[in-house]
A and B are shown apart, each in its own frame.
Chain A
Amino acid sequence: MSAADILRLDRVSVSFDGFKALNELSLALAAGEMRAVIGPNGAGKTTMMDVITGKTKPDAGRVLFAAQVDLTRLDEPAIAGLGIGRKFQRPTVFEPLTVHDNLLLALGGDRSPRFALWARESAAERERIDELLHTTRLVAERGRRAAELSHGQKQWLEIGMLLAQDPKLLLIDEPVAGMSDAETAATADLLGEINRSRSVIVVEHDMAFVRSLGVTVTVLHEGAVLAEGSIEEIQADPRVVEVYLGR
């Protein structure tokens, strides 16, 4: 584990009513790296995301961001402010607001009620939103309410909102669940583009999609790391085959 790690989980444990969701999980992500995390249901993937983003406080262990900040002491807005964005499993966008306004609220900047009360949209904000609409292929949908978008478009809008935050690290939970093949391929491209300037952790079930990412894969099992390596190494690992791929 080097000082260049953007994220380091150090023997993190979480239990819910005696059930150990994370069991001394240790994991390191280098700055600029994209990592795929896979594992059977209940392996602790979502709990890991919850711990990193401050939704769940671990019973033990540390989560170091950029080798300095212990995230376990902070709450969600503070962690988001450090530059960690999270995409939920189900697309979560603000349905009554327009695509434009969804992105506007996500843009970096002052989050205080007082600022929001007087805020006027600046030319710079407008320009940044134009860019994001391009990246997420939603230019034509700018004025539509998010509720009217297709499932895939909502996923992209949410990714666009994460990009608008300009995070250093992105956590993405099952980005292609429920997507068509074409949308899945486009999403893989989009993640590759995002990864050029940011670190990314992707949790995914879709093995074809994970292979198309071509990155290091971490397999979680019963709240700890079972194996780590390229997708080929992982698929050849008999322990992995037994708990996950073999079923």
Chain B
Amino acid sequence: MLTISLILLPIIAGLITLTTKGENAKTIASVFAFAEMVLGAYAYYSFMPNANTQFATSYNWIHSAGIKFSVGIDGISLILVCLTTLMVPFIVLSTFRNNYKNPHVFYALILFMQAALIGVFTARDIFLFYFFFEVALIPVYFIAAVWGGENRIKVTFKFFVYTIFGSLFMLLALVYLYLQTSGIAHKADFESIYAAAKSLDITQQSYLFAAFFIAFAIKMPLFPFHTWQPDTYVEAPTAGTMLLSGIMLKMGTYGLIRFVLPIVPAAVDKWGMIAIILSVIGIVYGSIIAIQQKDMKRLIAYSSFAHVGLMSAGIFSKNTDGIQGALIQMLAHGINVVGLFFIVEIIQQRTKSRELARLGGITQTTPNLTVYFIILMLGSVALPLTNGFVGEFLLLKGVYQYNAWIGAVAGLTIILGAVYMLRMVQKSMFGITSRITDGFSDLTFSEKVVLFPLSFMVIWLGIAPNMFLKYTEPAVNQLLSIIK
């Protein structure tokens, strides 16, 4: 029931928001988003640290085809449900200084998006998963395409067609798996699918692997499927970018853990190396491009591309450390990237520019902003005692166990990450005050309300990562036992 409420609450909230007029929408949306956060926290505290699927509910959905509306939370879902419920309230709050046209639709779409994301992360039936996976795209498409920047139409369209194209292949793969389940009446729940997958031979697995890989690699995105990403992140309104990079790209990594590893393990053995190499290319390539960026938003977009490469490499390395690292890093990356995009938004609102060359010297007048920016930046650079460190350390350890050479190349992420992040902070915050940064005012209360909790989480997760790792570990171990 809890899981259903987690999905239903944002839908109801969205519908209520739709009926409001004017600026009330903001307040209503944020109230509901915080209510959802409380529900998420309740799920976290009542979760038992074992491998079982908890708070599960199942209804017949398409009875004639054996498809169920079946949802539940296990350790892997939990961390993503926490991420979603934690981030959305702050994403809503971060827009408080903006005046969007048709605010009621804008906030309703954010809430619908949240419902779809929770649906993706809690679905226990492959078609329900697919359903939410695609539905999540519609609100974010409209958020980006209606409220976005100048080039939004072309860019978001490319993003939409690209991702749908990928997921259609996944649909084929899912239908194929569904038809492999035993008996005349096929089933579509995860357990039946995992059981049916055991009898697949290597050729079948390879095709399925290709189909899943294309879908998830486009979503995350991995090299060379990333071309939609930087433009979309730049053109989308900041709230949309936060949703996309903070939460939505985790649908891809989640899909890898949930489908690719347990369903086609033999194909992962055979082709995993290629996937890891692509991921590592993404890390290095993304970082190098990030170093050269002039636009802050674009820089963070490429950094996000680099980080997700490391997550995927960790997942494909198929060991506890790699997967655990990917999971904790999903959460950490979500927090950091939402915070960083918000800071870019703050700078842009005050100076009307995101260009590093035109900024500088902001620290002179803004002690608060500087502190928060540096904490979030350090989290992203993966300094020890920040959340990024835990994730990257485990990920690199996992990749190193898989192959030391690749591990070494992937390790460049720490150095390169420091280069582009420090460069960004230095060029934007330090140095001589430029014409447009003169008289930059410090954070307002509503901005602090967002940045303080985010920065707090950066440090807290860095000190006590076990508060999540202990919940994910049983599920990850169970997953690995399916593979072996």
A binds B: no
What is the interface of chain A, defined by CB distance below 8 A to chain B?
Answer: none
